[in-house]
Every structure is written in C-alpha cells, then in structure tokens.
Structure 1
C-alpha cells in the first residue's frame, strides 16, 4: 500500500504537487470523483478528485467532507488549489491537499494513479528485471500499426527510448538513429533548419516533414506532452503525404505514450535514486560498502572519484550539475555511477582505458566548454574499499579551485599534490600564529599604511632566488624597480636572507598569509 506522499512521488512532479500533507499520512485506497454540489461518497483512504469544483466555497466544503469521511486527499487544479483558505480548510480537516498541474487530463490522471496503486509501475518493472522499457517497445509497435509506418519514440533530448520492430520503410538517418540511440547531429541540424523542433515546442498536432535532398525520407512527427511539459516526440517514416485521418490517429496516440513515458521515467528515477544511495555508501565508507559493491556490480579494479561543483552564479545547482553531466558523458560508453552529497556531484570512474574509463571521461571533461565553467577535481586511483580517500582528495582540490589557488580545467590529484602540501602547511602555520613572528609584521604594517608592496616583493624574491628578472616579471615591474624595493625593505627590517632557515621560515609565513587571504 502507498501513502499519499509515495503516490505523489511515483506519479511525479510533472502532474502532482503536495500542498498540504497532514501527519500521520494515510494509505491510499482508490480514486473517486466528486459530483457537483453533492457530498463525496469516499471510503477511508480514497483520493477525491474535485473535477467540477469551480470556486473557493465548493473546495472548502469538499475538503471538510473528505476529512469527515477519512479520505486520504483531495485533488484540485489551480488557482483553487493555491488558495490559502482552501489549504487551511484541508489542514483543519486532516486531509491532504494535492495540486493537479494545469493541462493534465483528469481521465489520464485516473488511469495513471490506478496503475500505480495496482502495482503496475515500479514493482512490476522490477519483477521483470527491467525498467519498463519493454512496454515502450510494445507501445512503439502498436503506434506503428496505427500510422502504418516504422516509429521511434524519443525523449526531449532526441535520445531514442524505443522503436518499432517493422523496418519495411527506412533510410540511413533512421538506421543511424537506432544504432546510435540518438538522432545524429547532422540529421538534427537539418530538422532544426526546417523549423521542425520549433513546431514541436508549440503545437500538439502531427507535423509532416517532406523528404530531403540527401535521401532522408519524409517524416510524420508528433510531440508527446503531459501537464504542459514536452516529454519527447514520436517519429514515423512515411512514403509521402498521409491522410488527415491517419495523421490525427497518430497524434491521438500521444497521450497514451505520454502516460507510459511518465511511468518509465518514474521507474528510471527510482533506479537512479537507489544507485545514488549505494554510491553514497561507497564514498562514505562504513559497514555497508560491500553490499553497495554487489548491488552496483562494481568491478574489482582501481577507481577514481570525480567531484564537480557548479559556481553559485549558475542558478539551481542540482539541475545544472545533472544536465551538465548528461551532456558531458554522452557517447563515452557506460556512464560512470553518480551521486550528490551536499553541493557536490560525485562520479566513480574506472581507472582504465576503454569505453567509460578515465581517459575517455577526462577527454570529455577537458572538451566541455560551457559557461559557467564548473569546478572539476579528480582523486587518485584507489581500490574500491578506499574510495573515501579518493573522494577526500578530490574535495581538497575543489577547495583550491574555489579560492582561485588552482586554475586547472580538470584538477587531478597526482598533478597537484604539491599545492595540497603547501595548503596544509599554510593552514597549520596560520593556526599556530607564525605570521606574528620575525620581521614580517613590520613589512605588513608598512604595506598597509604606506601603500608599498614589500610582502609581494619578498615573496617573488624567495620564489626566484638569484633571478631578479623573473621575479620582476612576476610582479610586472622593471628589474631596477624590483632591486630598489629589495634594498629598501632590507633597510627597513633586519633580515638575514643569506640564511636558508630564515628564507624557509619567511616563505612559510608568506604562504600562510596568501592562503588566509584566499580562504
């Protein structure tokens, strides 16, 4: 049995949103439709659909009546579902208030809710050992019979989800689409140039696309929508213009495909959540990591942890991280396992050549040039049992990227270990208060009050001993200016720059100063 929260999650945020959720939650029984101006005949745990509710007063009466009969929830559409008085009535009656998204058909919603309550969603797919994809293929076959043409079902990113078995009419574009599980970029470009995707984004009827000069056969395309959201599209390869009746029949199959796509997406989302939870166990270590290894079928080989953080200017972090990851990893074979912890996206990548391995992913990460640029750091390759160590290394590098102390497009731990050493040393020095020792406080105060740059000058001298030209280039001043500054600061403080111990101590102090400024 599902409670109202689980049902809303299963049906999905595309269709439903919880407005009021009383405690404790009630297990859902069935779906009933409230008749206009009549009290609902709801049993305990029923979902009551306010199909004919037209105003606030009706909605309040319905909420109170549902609460009195022990219903689990009342479902309403905006703007009534967003009315504060209606929400207050539902809360007082102890019944959940769920908003049905605009554009959602009530009949389709009933079908989907009953399918979820009947266990024909996630549980059925799990029992078959799949994720509901087989149903999409059977549906593609059924649609192909309706339109009398080969069909592909694609998501909103032109990824092929299913295709019909019949191949009596085909062309190179369809073959490449099915083989690559995605419409090729050059094919997409031609359809975009014709305005096909612009029409898909606006309308709901079938679109006829004539044959193209490169031999691409005509297409009949229909958008797949639910609750106002474009879920994907269906493409039929046709020999030429089709009758209005057949075109309408093709378009009429879209709502059924939309329902199946929502079910498929709910299953896929559930699988993704389960996988993410197991990956989280691996990254955190502890007793459950062996179970997670078995659940995920992680091979017994070295893996790296990739940590990705989006800049705060990127907007909603989660959406950007996941969208970026989908974009980066397309075409590299099996995508690495991922999870989100806090503000970070983590991926487990096998440290080997071949599809889905670290070299392929590194190339994809390096070539990703979208703005804003994410912060990407990679830990050392480790055994599966030591993944928390690789995660900690990646996180430490992200910290250096965040503060600008490291500027690599993809920061790899073995290439930047020396910066980690300096960072830790500077942090320990700051905590120990070493910055207040020796002549440095005098130079620091002189810089602050007189506008000099003695600390930066000394730092450049220590970084390039015996090479005033290189040191001056670092400061972007003339070598004579650099020499003059060094002479003045040695007159200001008594400092023995001939002593290696003094030079080492000064470098640690200056390093701690700079790390503290970045931190």
Structure 2
C-alpha cells in the first residue's frame, strides 16, 4: 500500500506537483475518473482525476464532494489546481490536492498510477526515469487501452497501420457486431473496413492528425471516435473508441492527448517485436543449415518433432519492394492460417518452416493461402514465386531447403506454370533439369543428325527439330503431335517424310529414339536457363 505523497514521488515531479497534502494521509485505494455533472460514488482512499473539470467552480464542488466521501486526493490541471478557493476547499476537506503538469496525458497518468499501485517498479524501467511507462510488451498495450478507455469513457481498440488489433480495453459496456468481430478476429473484417472506406474515414485517417468522429451507420454500427497515431510523420496505427454519441470537447481532447503516449508504446512494441523476430529468424537459419546448433534452436523455438517442410518464397521480382518489407508482405499473406510458420530471410529470399500436416498452421493451410494469393494477386501487388521441398525431420531440414531452392529455379525458368512448385509433384522437371545440364556439359548436341537439321531450320526457316520432338513425344499419333505444333495431321506426316530424306536416321531403333529425345530435351531445356 502507498499514500499520496509516496505515490506522487514514485510517479515523479515531471508529471505531478503536490499543492496541498494533509499531515496525515491514508493509503490510496483506487483511481476514479470523474464525470461532468455527476456526483461521484467514491470509496475511502480513492484518487480522483478531474479529467472533465472545466472551471474553478466545478473544481471546488468536486473537491468538497470528494472530501465528504473520504477520498485521498483530487488531481487537477492548471489553473484549477492552483486556484485559491480550490486549495481552501481541499484544506477544509482534509484531502490532498495535486496538480497535473501541463502536457501530461490523462491516460499516461492513469497507467502510471495503476502500475504504481500494483507494485510495478516504474522507476526501475529505462534506467531510472520516473516517468517511464514500462516496456513495450503486449500487456502494456492492453493496460494502456484500459487507461485510454477510462479517459474517453468508451471501449477502445489500439490497431496498427493495417487495422490489425494490437490491444483492446476490458470494458464491453458499449459494443456492436463490428467491434465483436474485430476483437474476435484481431483485425477489422473486410466488410467493416469497406463501410468506413466508403465514408472516407481511412483517407482522413491517413492524411490527418486530429480525432475523427464517425456517426452511427444504418446497419447498427455505433459511432466511432478515431485518433490517428503518428510519430515523426509516420502513421503507426490508430485508436478506435465506440461511443454512444458525440463526446464532449473535454473528453475528445483528452482522447487526443493520449496519442503521443500510444505512439511511444507502439514504437517500443515494434522494437521489441522486431528483436523477437530477429532472434526467431536467427534460430530458424540454424535449422535450415542443420548444423551443430540445430537441436538447441529447435528446443528454444519449441519446435515439434513432426516432419516439417521448407518453403522458399521469392518476392524480389516485385517492382519497388524494399528489402525490409519482405517480412511484412509475408505476415500480410499468412494472416488467418493459424500459427504462423517460422520465417527467416536469407540473401533476399524468405524461408518458412511449416509442419507437414493438414491442420491449422500446417502445410496444407499455408499452401491454400499462398495459392489463393497467387491467383488473386492484383496487377500492382508483389509477384510471388513459391517452392516447397519435401517433408523432412527437424534435423534434416537442409535437404528440404536444397529441394525448395532447386524447385524455385524451375519456377524462375518458366518451365512450369504451377502457382506453387512442390518437390514430390514436379520431381520429373528436376530430372530433366539435371540431365540437360549434364548433357550440355558433355557436348551431346553436336552428335548425330541434329546439327544438320538445326542448320536447315536456320537457313530455310523450317521446323524440323520441333517436328521431330513432337513425333518422339507422341509416337504413332500424328493428330496429337500436329495439334502440339498447330498444324494439320497430314502436314505433320509430310514434314516427317521430308525429314527422313534430309538425314539418315533409323527411327525404328528405340535406343536411337531415346538418344534423340535426350538431345532435344537438353537443347530445349537450355533455352529456359
């Protein structure tokens, strides 16, 4: 327990100044925020914040009422806190009068006082700064949302710049389906976003820096008071308060005053999240290498013993996509699939580790999400190339990574138009790829009749190499072979007859046919390399 004097010292003179303190003060119980024109119901030892106090007469009445009910102190901003009649009322009522320094956000003060009352060592954070508000953990953001909700007297959500919910207040006394679905999904649903976009809300949010009031909508969505959160010109996120109607100017101002504090916490939260992400990425890289530290990395990441796949994603082909934005693209794509795969960035490529199962957070869900994204990609959206290695034990993920990288090479060459290249489904392309590379290195293209046919095609504009390739692929089926070349079957037969007069080749010999097919495959494969 702590008394008023000790509490003010803990919070610090930067925010609070003791105007009057009785010789004997009891312990502070709770923090209460006053309502305009409402007699507060207090308990002994309450600390009363005069957020909506607009004039000295109101302040005097509040102090007298608080004194009569045994409150510990009243906190006011200047000039009310230093008014002579207000001070006299505090002295007569036997309670403390505390001035809240100019520029102090009420939400910041609520948060700090509650942290102090809960025994949080506020002064130990950030090197002993008494005005520090703690680390940037998720719990801090939720406590901050509660404090902002008390200030604006409405349920509040704190969201990032992509409408992802980072925290929300505990109070649910005023709500609607849009808020419920937003909290349940930790993101504003697309239909809700569309309604606010249609009203120009997000355009104002992106460009402005003041609170925005959005009236109630015909579908039953309650009014919103929205505050953009900025730091250094960057839009970090926003606060959304569900209100019954237009709020008073005092509360709207108090709500807006919380924005710098929320901005600070969003920056701290982002720093902590980035540090955690970097640590996770480093451990993931160890697993991808399957070196000596893979077991320790797996334990620290709490990776299950089940088989995993390595998925390689290339987003470097997207025009104007900065290197540092690749992880943001990945997080945006994988929203809603369950537990997100572990991710690391190596040499401009994203590598994901995903359990090889069909449940939430598994390979099946990730594949469906990525396939949908590839098919629905807008013309100006980043183009993704996605390749997956085969499932492997956690200690053997380097093999799955190598397979994924090889499949990515197949995608880059344009040899397949599949949205996602999966190793066990397209292994035959790798066989041809390796074979073509070895054949070219061995110089097999100079053997047999192919050089003569190649020269004839080049000189006379014929297509005998393509005709021979189609015949080898569809032996005894001139209709299918002709369709592949977009010519009539009789035209195809005529070309094959002419070909046999140009070169001497025994197409009845299966080994000759195999050798020709290998040569032609290697040549055609090399064109895509």
TM-score for both structures, normalised by structure 2: 0.73
Give the conservation status (yes or no) of the 8 Å contact 1:311–1:375.
Answer: no
Provide the secondary structure at the position in 2 that maps to 1:290.
Answer: helix
- Matches of 1:456 and 1:478 in 2, distance apart? 15
Give the conservation status (yes or no) of the 8 Å contact 2:285–2:344.
Answer: yes
Tell me which residue corresponds to 1:324.
Answer: 329
Q: Give 1:119 deviation, angstroms.
A: 10
- Matches of 2:175 and 2:317 in 1, distance apart? 47
Indicate which of 473, 476, 495 corresponds to 1:485. 495
Give the conservation status (yes or no) of the 8 Å contact 2:313–2:387.
Answer: yes
- Matches of 2:125 and 2:204 in 1, distance apart? 32
CA RMSD in angstroms comes to: 1.9
Give the conservation status (yes or no) of the 8 Å contact 1:378–1:413.
Answer: yes
- Matches of 1:498 and 1:512 in 2, distance apart? 22
What is the aligned length? 399
Indicate which of 173, 177, 180 corresponds to 1:175. 180
Q: Give 1:457 deviation, angstroms.
A: 0.9
- Matches of 1:135 and 1:118 in 2, distance apart? 18
Provide the secondary structure at the position in 1 that maps to 2:220.
Answer: coil
Indicate which of 420, 439, 462 corresponds to 2:430. 420
Within 5 Å, give how 1:213-224 maps onto structure 2: 213-224=218-229
Provide the secondary structure at the position in 2 that maps to 1:425.
Answer: helix
- Matches of 1:141 and 1:311 in 2, distance apart? 41
Within 5 Å, give how 1:243-282 maps onto structure 2: 243-282=248-287
1:138 to 2:143 alignment: yes
Measured against aligned partners, the alpha-carbon deviations of 1:441-481 in whole angstroms (never above 9, x if no partner) come to 11112222222111111111111001011111111112122
Q: Give 1:323 deviation, angstroms.
A: 3.7
* Structure 2 runs not aligned, ≥5 long: 1-123
- Matches of 1:233 and 1:154 in 2, distance apart? 5
Tell me which residue corresponds to 2:209.
Answer: 204
Indicate which of 471, 483, 486 corresponds to 1:461. 471
Give the conservation status (yes or no) of the 8 Å contact 2:223–2:243.
Answer: yes
Provide the secondary structure at the position in 1 that maps to 2:228.
Answer: strand
- Matches of 1:317 and 1:396 in 2, distance apart? 25
Indicate which of 342, 345, 349 corresponds to 1:344. 349
- Matches of 2:370 and 2:152 in 1, distance apart? 42
* Structure 1 runs not aligned, ≥5 long: 1-113, 126-130
Give the conservation status (yes or no) of the 8 Å contact 1:149–1:236.
Answer: yes
* Runs of 4+ off more than 4 Å: 114-120
- Matches of 2:125 and 2:323 in 1, distance apart? 30
Q: Give 1:324 deviation, angstroms.
A: 3.2
- Matches of 1:164 and 1:247 in 2, distance apart? 17
1:475 to 2:485 alignment: yes
Indicate which of 503, 509, 525 corresponds to 1:515. 525
1:187 to 2:192 alignment: yes
Indicate which of 224, 247, 260 corresponds to 1:242. 247
TM-score for both structures, normalised by structure 1: 0.74
Indicate which of 414, 432, 437 corresponds to 2:442. 432
* Residues 294 and 197 of structure 1, relative CA distance in 2, 3 Å threshold: same
Provide the secondary structure at the position in 2 that maps to 1:335.
Answer: coil
Q: Which moved more, 1:307-316 or 1:268-277?
A: 307-316
Give the conservation status (yes or no) of the 8 Å contact 1:317–1:343.
Answer: no
* Residues 351 and 211 of structure 1, relative CA distance in 2, 3 Å threshold: same
Provide the secondary structure at the position in 1 that maps to 2:225.
Answer: strand
Tell me which residue corresponds to 1:165.
Answer: 170
Indicate which of 438, 449, 460 corresponds to 1:450. 460
Give the conservation status (yes or no) of the 8 Å contact 2:317–2:383.
Answer: no
Q: Give 1:285 deviation, angstroms.
A: 1.7
